[in-house]
Each structure stands twice: as structure tokens, then as C-alpha cells.
Structure 1
């Protein structure tokens, strides 16, 4: 019995597949429409399935080339050691990874992707950096990197195709190995202790919700794509009833047609995926780039997509035909059908809320959120949009009143086929609902991962660290002559203690002229040669013990397990002055001792390092690049740091970046699928439009009617999406124990983006619409 049932199913599905490919131009048109829609969805599913492998590949590449690990273990010089210095920079807000290499023997390890060490004055660069340096826009960066390019870093040495990176030859780096992590000695590349930091539970929640929100619209689009051309197909199926097939057999044959389109769509999807894979290797989105070789979905996920998509095509078709009566003399679809029932449609969102409810109030202190409940709850809420929207569209359009001719044509069409109108809008509504919920969650928890900076941006905008041994005054003068710099404040900083080695009491010292010292303290009077002890600092417990006239202190004392320091002896003067700390440029109250330049012992000059604070004119184009170029001319180890009003968690930032990249892909899919759906509906109405034109209906009236047919469902869909999105966002915020706050500007922007996509698609469909509105469209064979 089961074997006969299986043979019957196989025979009917095969017959439907033959009909799809032998049904003439109309059959092929339907198959291609379905294949394109399904193919776009499959391509995005495959790209999404490849994301874990891409992230793993980037992480592995980063670990494989790791050189500076801030390890306390100091390696001795040997034939197989290499000195590496971090000389990274930034160019127009893009990071440029740079390393200076000095091999100490023939066995020194080569960095991944590099064939041989560059000599001093030479460098090997990534392809993206090479292209930038050769372009007109890279002029300022060429001034910063004047070395001769002698090679290109191969793919194994880069984490992305658009990464800017270089290795330059170096010499005389050994004296700079000081434990600061700027210069180090290694005998191999690679991270011996890969990071295994656990992610915050709220961040994990955000990742889970993000993937569900991005993938659910894809599933909705695929389900809609397999129903392209459904009305014409159903009319063709009436002929099968006329030659003797029963209703079940007819539905199975229809499922076979959908299966054919879905299988061809898998092929299209693979082609689209391969094209997208190559395109992904040549573009950069929000400073994230990958190599095509990274985007390899796991075989298990790819097989799952290959099985689920055709199965979904068959299932969706069978479910869609349950409400259609296919008789030998026609299809009863245009007659008034039974009103849609609301009760079971409400079960989906209510079930989603029930799954999420147990985790309300859990927060980040009670472990990770239940992944299955989170995924299931969010999916049910979003899928609930697709269940509720047809009911809402039907209920609203049934009550719409009279109006102009265009309005009446649109309303009547919607009343006859509200389900088709809702299907076209479902995807955009689901995407907008998910985007609103995610935006609420991100905006709600942003303050938890963002720390306000203490830096006073009214007094300085850039801080430059000058390495030990580099004269501070000439460096400050160079910055004063730099284009766009309006004010320079310079000081040197160091450390002193009461003992030569492992001091019991210690504190910092600041060396600067009187004008710069007044930036950090209130001085009674100041002349070159004065020394001040500072009171009222943030963390100052040792100054009182150290500031005893006649006491011998040691500038740059030594510490166990660190290289021996200078240990410069200095006696506290009898005329030591007192000063009161004030808030400096960094927002701190600095303590310790303040030295005017001539008061610092000459032997201590090489052991203090300079800090230069710059105010710049932001209206000068590339002012930051001029500052960076000046810093590099002073020392390649000078590190300009641009101040900002806040600092954000790297994990939070990377997740938000991933959301924007994914949302970009989904918006592209939304637009493409909506366009295909719109063209399919216009194709279905070709003869109707031609008939109306033949009877004298103005083209402008028909165009307006098509616009109304799109606008009404979209308005209803966006209203429903807003309600569901706000509900889901509120629940997610309560789960993360974050105060519920609605950022209406973001909500309206999400709605506006969704509406904008639809408007763009509608405008793109107008030229085909005008071509279809011709009387010769009534011709038939």
C-alpha cells in the first residue's frame, strides 16, 4: 500500500515537472520567474551558511600572523629570532596594519604571505595598499610610507581582500624592546594562547536575534516565489480535471510544477552564490572584507538547503491549493470565498511571546539565554506577521469606499486577490518588524557597551605619544608648523620612587614649561628651575611621603623581571613648591611632581616620554593625515590618537557591523524579489490591462491603479510590522533587564527604508507596465 502510494506521488510529481518544461512559453516563463525568486533566496541562504566559516577563516588568519602578544617571557637573541615592531597607522579612518621586521639570523621566521624579508628602506604591501599608494588619493599616505615597494603580501598573510597592510625592513630595533608591547622578539608567528573570552549573554542574545531577523524574510520570499504564476497555473489544471484526474492528483501535479521551479531555482541559487562569492571578494562593506575562499558553506548546511527548499515548494503549493476548487470547467477562485479566520493566526505571535516570557528579567547575571526558546519565539512572532497580514488586508479592503476610477480599479483588484497582495508585502513587513525590534534592542543596551570619554575635546582633539629619547621641543615645533594645527601643548612624563629597585612609594612626574604645567595644576608662581608637589590628585597616596625636602628619590626605578632601568638619583629640593591639581586635557587630576625643564637631571632626559596635545581646525581637509605625517617624520613609533566623545565595546561594534552588512544583503534580496513579484503580477494581468486600454481607459489611470494596489497593502503591512516590532523589541529589552525606551526616530527610519524599497521597485516596474498597456496584448494563439 505504501509502495503504491509512493509510486503515485512520484508519478504525479514527475508529470507536473514535465508540464512545467513542456507548457510552451508560458510554462517556461513561470519556471524562470520561480527559479529567479527561489535562486535569490537560496543564494542568500548559502552566503549566510558560509558566514561561520568566513569568520573562522578570518580568525585563523589573524592568529596565524600574530607577532606581538604582550607576553612577559623575553626571548634571547638567536639565529632563529626576529624583532618585530608595530608601526601601524590610520589613513582616512581606515586602519593600515604595519610591521617593521629585523631578522637576527638565517632561521628567522617569515610572516605568512611573505616570500623574503624586505631590506631597510623597502617594504612589501597588500594589493589593496599598493593600489591606494599608486592612486592620486594616496598622496598623503605615500609621504608617510616612502619606502620602495618590492613585493606583495599573498592571501595567507591577510584577513581580507581589501585589507591595508605592509611589512617594512628595519634595523637597530633591539634597544627598543622594553616590554611595552611596541617592539618584541619572536621565534615564530602565531598566537600561542588564542583568545577564549566568553561573550556577554546579552551580546549572544543579540547575535541569535540578528540571524533570525535576517533569515526569516529569506524564507518568506522563497515561500512566495514558489507561488509565482499561481492563478494561470490553476486555470491550466482545470484541463486535467476534464481528462479525468481527481482533485488530489491535480494538486500533486501542481506541486510537481512548483518542484521543477524550485529545483531550477537551486541551480540559479548556486550560480548567484558563486557570483556573489566573487563579488564579495572585491568589495568592502563597513571596513569588512573577505576572500572568496572564505565563503564555503559547510556541506551539512548546503545539503539542508538543497533538501528543504524543494520540500518547502511542494508543501507550500499543497497548502495554497486547499482553498482552491479546481473543476473541469474552471477554477473557483474569483468567487467570494469564506472569510479568513483570525483565531489561529493569533496563536503564532502569542506562542512566540509564551516562549520568550520565561526569560523576561534574566539579564546578563543569570547565564546564557535558552537558544531554542529565543529562536523559536522570535520566529513565531515574525511568521505571525505573514499570518495576520492577509486577514488585515482582506478586512480593510472590504470596507474601502468609492473613489476615482484608479482607486476603484485598485480596490476591486485587492478585494478579489487580497492574498496575492499580502504575499508580495509579507517579506518587507517581516524585515521591517525584525529591524525595529533589533534597533530597539541595540539602542537600549548601547549605553552598557559605550563609555563616555573623559577627554576634554574643547582643549585638544589629538594626543601624540613621543617615544623615549626623542627631543620634545623640536617635535612640538614641527606640530606647530603642521597645516591645520591651531594649538600645541607638550609635556614629558615619567616615574620615580623611593628606592632604586622595587620602590615602596612611587608616583609620576610631569616635565613641561610653565604654560603647559598650568594645564594640569594651579601654580603659585612659576619660573624655569621650579619643582612642584601636587595635591588633590585622583589616586595620590604617596606624594606626601615622597615630597620631603632633602630626600633622595630615583627617576625610572627598576622592577623585578623587567630590564634594568636608569635609576637616576634626584634629591627633593628645599624650595619645593606646592601646587593644586586641576582637571587636565584627559579629564584626570594628575598627581606626583611637576618639573620645569631645567629642574630635571640631564641623565633623566632620555627616560621620560613626551605627550603632545593638539587642537586642530576640523575644516581643513585631511588635517588628521597631516598630523599623522608629522608624527611619522618625528618617529615611526609616534602614535597619534584621535580623541572621541565615547569608547565602544569591540564585540558590540563588530555585532552591529555584522547587522548592517547582513541587512544590506537582505534589503537587496527584498528589492529584487519584490521586483520579480511585481513583474509576475503584471504578466498575469497582461490581457486585462490590454482590454482596458482597448476600451479607452487612460494609461495614467491604470498606472495610478497599480500604484494604489501596491500602496494600500504596504501601508497595512508597515503598520502591522511596527506593532509586532515594537512588541518584540519591548520583550527583548525586558529579557536583558534594560529600561524600555522607544527611539521613534529609528523606528520611523526603518519604516521609511521599507517604504523606500517598495517605491523604488514600483518605479522600476513602470516601464514594463507601460509596454503591457497596449491593445495588441489581446492577441493570442
Structure 2
């Protein structure tokens, strides 16, 4: 151990005292390792970040979970007034305290009075910006303060709390609750979904594996020059084992400096995180606190991996007193043991094939181990594939011959540079297949037809429908406004056993719901919907018998102390529901206004369907602003044919954010690797230029040296990614299908990154191709 320590320490000293060459190599290694360490530290911070966001979400939870909370001096009335601004969500709440002890929302020091509001810093900046006139008209309250960090999910979140008067608790239309405290008093753990857990595990493995590959490649920067320096040590008496340990010490120095550089990168990125928004998500820098245990693991693993990788790499190099034996004929790489890695990965995943979500949790160790082995198999197979292909390549243009000969001499180095891209693309293809395959399980049809109407506005009060329809008809960007109101009828005055829905509108509006044989004011129709459950249909028909006496909205009437009796007409004609009805699965009675008794309008909730003129700029914003002007508690929403699970959407968003970070790491690391390779070949490039080789030829040769390995790497990555994706789909008990457009886009993204790196490396290449590069000391 003493000998090991002495030799490693000697290597560390050589790294920092070896002149400019030593410093350049250490810095290149530190930057390469530092980029990987920064992403690893970001990953270790993810659990704390998610927990911090969950704490904020739970703390500001404002559902009362009960409509029987009595009024007291410690209660608060709260109305939800969420809106959107150019596809960005704006969280809004109206608050009315009912006593001096009313609870405060997180991040708010004082409840705003009527006409006042406290806002998030991002919303304050937005409201004061040019072009936000429609939003200012929609939120016409005076700003008296800002919401603290403890009440926001991120620094870019748009949110406000405004003061109000006259709120009444109800559940129809906009939700208005009476609260004694913010937060869920009885939190219930969410039921775990085995498929989502599986997807989460695979996402973490796929995103972190390229990082490990890049760190392993970074510690080998400058290997050829280092080995030539080590030959001098053999002249002064060191043996081969001591030489390897000294080389490991140099790598250790670069990795330790890389830990420092990575920490600086992480802290810099952490501080900048507050001003960045990725896919609509933002995070406070304080959320990005790495988990201490995982930080220690990174600090120990990275230097240890640097030493281990260097020792393994030195096994294939003979450092002798008179030089380095590297260019002698190497034995051909063997294939059999390289195939064992992916086969072992498939063997670990095979027992879970067909599990789906109905056979318990997936074994996390088998999932992580199996996916790791398959991706590691890419790094093992790629050097063999590159060597096997380039050894068969022959003549062509001069630039092609230069590139092929270089690849034949150092196919392992070329494969190392591409390994990270190949692993990232293989994982991305597998995840893309998995997400596309299970998307239908987390996506459901809403029954809405965006071609029939683009927006709907739920009004909070009663009896405002006619005025609202007229106001929307005059709103810029609105072509048509269809007004409908809805309620319930029961067979008894109080607590009816069966209730049926009624939809009220004029003949033009009702024709948007069903195909009416003929219609005039005073008619009543029964909605014939083939999608209505037979048992439910039998129940409501007992209420809808022609000529019977019913009560309109009896449950609500009991609360208010009044009921409205209505004798159904003797004739109720059937009306088949349209497949493209504005309402989702309508049932019950379709009623024209004059068929109802007087005073009924005050018991119905109104809804306005809007057809927009998409050619008008900000048509949706004009409609939302008009809705807020008509009714501050109105709830406008956009029609969508489908909706997805929030947990699935969050996981997919996390994947995209992680993929952006990994692609940035890939590009930066490849650029550092390319610059290091060019630096090592400076004298060779200068010699070729001195003998008359054109710069264009040398530039094309560098491009070919990158293009051939990346093409092979992307082919291998596609094969492994498709295999892994198919296995994961089989594990989730989902039919295997390949979205070739996504596969090509993933491979294309990898190719674009490499092309961009190659283009960025051309200016340094041109600077290196000078006769001065032949000078030596």
C-alpha cells in the first residue's frame, strides 16, 4: 500500500509539474470529468428538488375536502380563478376572510383586501411588460405585495392571490370552498403504478449511463503523449508496474481536479437555474441541494473509476525504455465475450416479461442491472464493430484514405469518442418506444371535438347566460357563441332516489347537441344517447315520464330552502344525440326556455361554447379576458380531444429536461475530446501540410474520421435500442410497435450533435495546420 501511495503521489506531481503539456492534459481531463460530475451532482439533487416541490404543492393545497365546514372567525372563502396566457398557466385565487384568524396561504404575509392582490415576481414582471394589456384587463387588481418562495413551485411560476367579497361556497361552475387551513389535513399516499415506476428507473439509467461513459473516456485524454513521457521513467529505473501506477496517479490528479471543476459547473448552473425555464418548468436554486450520501458516492467513485480505467487501458500498452510499443499489429478483438453482456442483460429482464401492472412491482435490481448490461454491451460491441468494418475499407479520395488509415491505426480511440453518443441514442430509442407504446394507457378521450368549438366558459352564477352570450358575440376573435344551461330534476322534493339531467337552450343551441325533428320554443326532448349505460338509462326514465311532477334541482333547493315544481309536458319527443355533440355524453332532457316554470333560470348553471376565428391574433386571450369581465369566477377552458395522466406527463417532461442536459454534455464532451485529438496530431497535421497536402483535404479527413464511427455507432445503437424497447414493452404487457419516425429522429439528433461538434472544431484545426507546428524543444 505504501508503494501504491508513493507511485500515485508521484503521478499526481508529474501531472501538475510536467510543464505546459502536463497542464493542458490535466485541464482537458478536468473539464471532461467536470462536465460529467456536474450532471451527476444534478442527478443527486433531483430527489431533494422533487421533495421540495411536493412540499410546496402540499402546503398550498386548498381543497376543503368537505362542504360542511362551518363559518367561524378562523375560516376563509377561496375561489379558483386559474387562467392561461399564451399557453402558460396562471394560478389564481380569490380570498375572502370570514374572521380575524383566517388562515394565510404559504408565502403570503397579509391577506389582500378587496381590489388588491399579491403576485409572484414573474407575474409582476409580466403584468408590467408591453403586450400584456389583455392580461392586465383580466386581472384588474392593485398589486400590494409579492408571494414568497415558500408559496411558489418555481421562480418563473405565474400566480396571484386577490381579495374579494360576497363569495358563496358551492361546487358547481367555479369551485368556491370554505377553508380552516391550507394543506391536506388527511394526506393519502398515491397508489403506485408499476409501469410508471419501471419507466422512472429506466429513465434514470438511460440518462446516467452516457455520463459514466464520458467520464471513463475523459480520464484517457492525452494518453499517447503521456505514454511517451512514461518511457523516460523506464530509463531511470522504474518497472512496468510502477509506470502503470504513475499513469494512474496522473489520471487521479485530473479526476480530482475534475471534481472541483464539476462542483464549480454545478454551483454555477444551480445559481442560473432560477432564471431558466425548461418545458414550462422552473426551479429555485435552493431546491437543487444534492443528497449528501450520493455526493460522497460521486466523490469516491469518480477518482476510483479514473484509476481503474487507466490501469485497464495500460494493459494493452508496452512502455519500454526506448519508446512505446503501440502501433504494432494488435490481435483482433474477440466477439464472444462482448455478446455475453447484452445477453446477460436480456436474461435479467426476461423473467419480468408479461408482468404489466397486474402482477406486482417490477424487481428494481433486475431492471437496473438488465438495462445497464444492455447499454454497456453497446460500449463493448462498438470497438469490435468499428475495427471489423474499417479493416475492410480501402481506396478512395485522398481525404478518405487518410481517415481510413488513421481509423485502422486507432480504431479503439475512435470508438471511445462515439461510445457516449451510441449509449445515449440506444437508451433514447428504447425510452421513445416505451413511452409511445404505453401512451394510450395514460391518455383518454375527452369526447370534445375541437373542430366544433375551441373554447367553453363555465359561469359561476345563475341567470347571467343571456348577457354573457351577447357579450361574447361582440368579443374580438369570437365567430359564434352557443349558450346552454344545465341542472337536475328529481322525482321527490327532497333527497330523490333518482335524478336526471336537463339541458336548457334555444332551438339553435339544442341542435348543437342532438338532431331535432322540429323545434319551437316550449318543446321538450329526451336525449337518445347510445353510449348511456343501460342501468342508468332505466333509472332516469322513471323521472322523465311525460306528464309526471318533478322538482328542479331538489338537492340544491334543500340547501337554499326553496324547490321549484315542474309538471313535465305530455309530449316528450326523442332526439338522437349527435356524435360531434358540444356536450360530452349528454343524457336526460333537452328543454327550450319557455317550457320551464318561472324562476328556473336562477337554479341553472350556464355554459358558453365559443367558436373562434383563428386568424385573429390572440383570439383565445380576448375570449378569456371577456370571460373575466363578464364573471370574475367564470372558468374558461380550451377544448382538447384527449387528456393525459399528470404523473405520466410529469415523467415525460422530466425525461425531456434530462435529455437536454445529456445532449449538452454530449456536445461539450465531444468537443473537448475532438480538441484533445487534434492537439495530439498537431505535428502530423503540420507535416502533411508541409508536404503539400491541402487544408481542404485534411479538413475532410477529420470529418470522415468522425462520420464513419458515428454511422456505425448509430446503427448499433438503433439495433440495441429497438431490442431494449421491445423487451420493455413486453414487460409492460404492451404490443410491440416501432415508431420509425421517432427512431430516425433520435439517431438524427445524435448525428446533428456530432456534426455541430465537428464544425466547431474546424477553426482550431485550421490554426493547428501551420508549419510552426513542427517546432519542438
Residue 136 of structure 1 aligns to a residue in which SS?
coil
Q: Which runs of 5+ in 1 are unaligned?
A: 1-5
Q: Which residue does the alignment assign to 1:688?
A: 684
Q: Is the 8 A contact 1:456 1:587 kept in 2?
A: no
Name the structure 2 match of 1:418.
Answer: 411
Measure how far apart 1:287 and its partner are. 1.0
- Would the alpha carbon gap of residues 486 and 180 (structure 1) be closer, same or farther in structure 2, given more than 3 Å must change? closer
Equivalent pair of 2:77/2:169 in contact (CA under 8 Å): no
CA change 1:164–1:697 in 2 (3 A) is same
Shift of 1:550: 4.7
Q: CA deviation at 1:484?
A: 1.6
- Partner residue of 2:288? 295
Per-residue deviation, 1:312: 0.2
Q: Which residue is equivalent to 1:3? A: none
- Of 487, 490, 493, which residue of structure 2 is paired with 1:497? 490
- 1:76 Cα deviation from its structure 2 partner: 1.6
1:517 is displaced (CA, Å) by: 1.8
- The match for 2:267 among 269, 274, 281 is 274
Alignment match, 1:154: 148
Partner of 2:587: 591
| Residue 589 of structure 1: how far off its partner (Å) | 5.1
Match of 1:546 in 2: 543
CA contact (8 A) 1:558 1:565 kept: no
Closer/same/farther in 2, CA of residues 476 and 254 from structure 1, 3 Å limit: same
> Which of 95, 99, 103 is 1:101 aligned to?
95
Aligned match of 1:125 in 119, 122, 125?
119
Which residue of the partner structure matches residue 326 of structure 1?
319
CA distance in 2, matches of 1:615, 1:96: 23
User: How far apart, in 2, do the equivalents of 1:167 and 1:346 lie?
Assistant: 61
Residue aligned with 1:541, SS: helix
Contact 1:687 1:777 in 2 (8 A): yes
Q: CA deviation at 1:547?
A: 3.8
* Match for residue 749 of structure 2 among 729, 733, 753: 753
User: Residue 298 and residue 543 in structure 1: after superposition, are their counterparts in 2 closer, same or farther (change >3 A)?
Assistant: closer
Q: Tell me how far 1:587 sits from its aligned partner.
A: 6.0
How do 1:226-305 residues align onto structure 2 when only pairs under 5 Å count?
Answer: 226-305=219-298
2:718 to 714, 719, 722: 722
Contact kept, 8 Å, 2:447 with 2:585, in 1: the verdict is no
The unaligned stretches of length 5 or more in structure 2 are none
- Which one is further off, 408-417 or 39-48? 408-417
Decide whether aligned partners of structure 1 residues 239 and 547 sit closer, same or farther in structure 2, where only a CA change above 3 A counts: closer
Cα pair distance change 1:523/1:425, threshold 3 Å: closer
Residues 341 and 106 of structure 1: is their aligned pair in 2 closer, same or farther, counting only changes over 3 Å?
same
The one of 21, 29, 32 equivalent to 1:37 is: 32
Deviations 1:704-755 (A, max 9, x none): 1111111111111111111111111111111111111111111000010000
Distance 1:751 1:60, change over 3 A: same
CA distance in 1, matches of 2:81, 2:360: 40
Query: Which of the residues 631, 637, 644 maps onto 1:641?
Result: 637
Counterparts of residues 540-689 of structure 1 (less than 5 Å): 540-558=537-555, 563-564=559-560, 566-574=562-570, 576-583=571-578, 585-586=581-582, 588=584, 590-689=586-685
- TM-superposed CA distance for 1:188, in Å, is 1.5
Q: Is the 8 A contact 2:33 2:258 kept in 1?
A: yes
Deviates more, 1:534-543 or 1:712-721: 534-543
1:479 corresponds to: 472
1:161 touches 1:289 (CA, 8 Å); kept in 2? yes
Can you list the C-alpha shifts for 1:350-398, whole angstroms capped at 9, x where unaligned? 1111111111111111011110001001001101111111111111111
| Alpha-carbon offset, residue 655 of structure 1 | 0.8
Q: 1:20 aligns with which of 15, 24, 45?
A: 15
Q: SS of the counterpart of 1:209?
A: helix
Give the TM-score normalised by structure 2.
0.97
Q: Tell me how far 1:180 sits from its aligned partner.
A: 7.2
Contact 1:352 1:377 in 2 (8 A): yes
Distance 1:340 1:550 in 2: 90
- 2:83 paired residue number: 89
Secondary structure in structure 1 of the residue aligned to 2:131:
helix
Q: State whether residues 464 and 612 of structure 1, in contact with CA within 8 Å, keep that contact through their aligned partners in structure 2.
A: yes
Tell me the C-alpha RMSD between the 2 structures.
1.6
Number of corresponding residues: 772
TM-score normalized by structure 1? 0.96
Q: Is the 8 A contact 1:492 1:512 kept in 2?
A: yes
1:338 aligns with 2:335: no
Deviations 1:307-361 (A, max 9, x none): 0000000000000000100100000001211111111111111111111111111
CA distance, structure 2, for counterparts of residue 690 and residue 533 of structure 1: 89
CA distance in 1, matches of 2:96, 2:619: 32
CA contact (8 A) 2:517 2:575 kept: no
1:416-436, CA deviations, whole angstroms, 9 ceiling, x for partnerless residues? Answer: 111111100000000000001
Equivalent-residue separation in structure 1 for 2:263 and 2:196 (angstroms): 32
Q: What residue is the counterpart of 1:404 in the other structure? A: 397
Residue in 1 that maps onto 2:731? 735
Q: SS at 2:77's partner residue?
A: strand
Q: 1:535 to 1:667 in 2, by over 3 A?
A: closer
What secondary structure, in the 3-state scheme, does the structure 1 residue paired with 2:542 have? helix
Deviates more, 1:282-291 or 1:39-48: 282-291
Task: Give the CA deviation at 1:82.
Answer: 1.3
